[in-house]
Structure 1
Amino acid sequence: MGRKEEEFGYLLDNNAANTEVHTKTGSTDQCSQHSSTETHKSLESTYLGSDDDEVRRSQAGQSCDYGEEEGHLVYHIGLLLEERYEVVSTLGAGAFGKVVECFDRDKGLRAAVKIVRKFESFREVAKSEITVLKEINMLDDDNRFACVRMLEWFEHQGHVCMVFELLGLSTYEVLCQTDFLPYSVDQIRDMAFQIFKAVSFLHRNKLTHTDLKPENILFVCSDYNLEYNNDTKRDERRMRSLDVKVVDFGTATFDHEHHQSLVSTRHYRAPEIILDLGWNQSCDVWSLACVLMEYYLGQTLFPTHDSKEHLAMMEKIIGPIPPHLLKLTSKQHYVHNQRLDFDESSPSGEYVRKHCKPLKHLQRKSEGERQLFDLLGCMLEYDVSRRITLEEALWHPFFSPMRTQKKKRS
C-alpha cells in the first residue's frame, strides 16, 4: 500500500457493525477491537459514509458486496471530470463508491471527489446527503461551524460526484497511528468545543447527524509530533493544529423526515435506539459522549457487536436501565421481571466484567478530568428527557477555559 493510500485509509468502507463477535481490548489490539474480522477499522469511509452494514442495508434498501466492481466508474489517473477536476490518485473505495483526490484546474487547489456507484438506491442516498450539505452551506455561509464543506456536485456518466474540501486524517486514524495513545484532557476539550458547537448548530436547524464517531471527525491538518512529558511521565501527542470538522451526512435526518428505526454505528448507538423506543437529536449527545470517552481511554467504551451485551455493558458502566424504559420497549426478549435479562455467569457476562468498569472508576484525579466526567455523566443519561442538550453542554464548567479564550480573542 502506498503512502497516499495509508494516509487516507479511513476513506474505505468495511462491514464491521454486522459482525456479531467479541473483539479485543487494550491499546495494542485496538485496531481489532472495532473490527475483528475485517482488515482494520481505519479502513473506514468518512466521505463514503457509515461502516454499519445494518444501517446501510436498511437505508439503501439492498445489501452490498464490498468486493464487487459493478456500478463503479472506471477511471484512470489524469482523467478530467467536468473539464476541471483532474484525477491525481485514489483515496479509497467502498460499498457506496470511490473517493479520488483531484486537482482543481480552475482554483489551483486539491479536492476530494466522491464518485457514487451507479445504483438508483445509492443515488437517492447521495441526493439526500447533497440536500443536507447544501442546507448546511446556506445556513453557515461564513463557515463558522466545523462541518465539512461540499464545494459542488455534478453527474458524470450517470454517477453522482460530490466535491469536498480535502482534509487530514480522522481522529480515529491518528489514534491508530500512535498505538492508541489517548488524547490529553486539554486536547479533548479543544476538539469537543468545536464538535459540540457544530452539532448544536445542526440541532438548532432541526437536523440530527445520527453517525457521530471518531472516524467521522477529521483534523483539518493532522501533522503531529510525539513528545515526552516529564510531569505525566508519558509520551504525548502534540498536534500542529487541533482544528477538526464533522463529516459524513449520508444518514443525517431532518426532524420532519421519516426516522429509520436503526441508525448509528454500533459502538456509539444510544440505548433508546437499541430498545426501539424512537429517537431524536439527543442520540447525537450519547454518541458524542462515547466519542469523548474513546479519546480519553484510547479504546472503545462499549466493545461489542451484540445488542443485549451492549445494554449489559451500559449497566456495568452507568448503572441499571430504568424499569419504565424496559417496560416500554418492543424488545421484550431483552427483559425479565422489569430488569435486563442478562446472565452474568455466562461467557458474555464474564466478557462484560472483564472489559467494563463503572464510569467513576475510569477517571483520574485532575480537576479537568473531574469536570469531563461530570459532563459525560450528564450526556450518558438513559432517559432522553434527562439527557443534557449540546447547547447546555457548551455552558458546562468543563468548557470554561474555551469560553475565556474566545472572550479574550473577541
Structure 2
Amino acid sequence: MRRFVTIAVIILVLGGAAVAWQPLSNYMQLRSVPKWKTAKVTEGNISAVVNATGTVKPVLQITVGAFVSGPIAKLHVEFNEEVKEGQLMAEIDPRIYVAGVARDEAALANRRADVERAKAQLQQAIRDENRANTLREDDTAFIAQAEIDRVHFARLSLQAMVKVAETAVDQAQAQLDNSKLSLEYTKIKAPCDGIVINRKIDPGQTLAAQFQTPELFIVAPDMRKKMYVHAAVDEADIGLIKVAQEKKMPVTFTVDAYTDLFTGTVEEIRLSATTTQNVVTYPVLVGAANEQLKLLPGMTANLSFEVARREKVLKIPNSALRFFPAKQHVRTEDLQLLEGQVKENNIDPGDVQETGLSAEERAEIRKSRKVRHVWVSDGLKLRAVEVVAGLSESRYTELISGDLKVGDVLVTGIEPPKPWGG
C-alpha cells in the first residue's frame, strides 16, 4: 500500500511539473526578451540642410584715403559714427597748400602781364610794318627791301611770342587749378552715406602720400539695409547650394551675440576656391536684412542652407535606421540580412574610391545605400522591414517606399537594465 501511495505521489508531481513546464518556459522566454526602445512612424515635413560657418561683412567697404601729405589738423568723426555723402571727416594742415595757391595765383598774374606786353609789342610791330609798306608804295627807293623784310619778320616773331605767352597763361592756370585741388584735398570728405567702421588715424599724425595712399577711414554704406555672410562651403555641397540658389530657398543662421534666428538668401557662389589641408571650399555670399543693426562686421555665423523640402511625407526616426540587432533577437527568416547589413554598413562612400571600383560601380553603391532595413517587434523576435530612404534631416528621414504606415512602432535600441532594487 505504501508503495502504491509513493508511486501515486511521484505521478502527481511529474504531472504537475509537465503542466507547469509550458507556462514556466514561456515566462522564461519572456524574461529573456529585452525591453526595446521604440519610436513611431510619423507624418510631417522634412527639410534637408547643409551646415556651414561664415563671417558677417558689409556688402561694401569703402576705404577713405588721403591724396596729399601733411599732419592731421582736425578729426570730425569717430568710430561707429554715421556720415552723409560729402560730410567733412578730417582736415590736413592746409598752410603749405594755401601758400602754394597764392604762389600760383601770382605766377598766373605774371603770365597774363606777359601776354599784355607781348600784345603791345606786336601792335607796335604791326604799325611799323604798315608804315614801311606805305612808304614803299609811295617811293620804292625810299626804303630798302631788307628793311621791309626786317619789320615783316619782326611782326611774325612777336605774333609767336603772343602765342607763347598765352600758352604760359594756360600752363599757369593749370598749375593754379592743381594747387587749388591739392588744397581741397586737405579736407577729407565722406564718399557716400554710411557708418565709420574703422578709423586709422589720430590728430597730429603725419601722412605721407608720395608712394601710396594712406588709409584714414573705412566706411560701410547701407549696413542697415543688408549685410553679407561670407560662408565657406565644402565642394561636395556646392551642387546642392546652387540648386537652392536657383529655387530661392531660405538660409537661416545664428550669431553668438543674440538668440535671434536670422534669415537670408544665397546671393552669389564665387568660383575662387580655397584648398586647406586637401579640403576644397567655395565662398558663398548670403544676403540678410539688418534694419536693427544687430549684424556687425566680423561676427561668426552658423548657417543652415535649406537645400530640399518635402511636404506631408512619412518620417522614419533616424535612430531606427541606425539600430542593428543581435542575431539571437532576430527571427530565422531575417538572419540572412544581418551579414549583408554588416557589409553594407561597413562601406563608406568616401572610402569607395580606395577599393579600386569604377565610377559607375561607386555610383551604384551609393544608390543602393538608399535601401535600408528597420526592425519591428514580432512576438519574441524582431522582424525586418525593407524601406527606401529619401531626404534626411537631423532626426528624421523621408520614407519613399516600404510596408509602414503612420503610428507603426519601430525598434531603436535596448533599454538598459535597471539597477537592483530600482
Place the TM-score, normalised by the shorter chain, in its bin. Answer: under 0.3
TM-score in terms of structure 1 length? 0.19
* Greater share of residues in strand: 2
Larger radius of gyration: 2
TM-score in terms of structure 2 length? 0.19
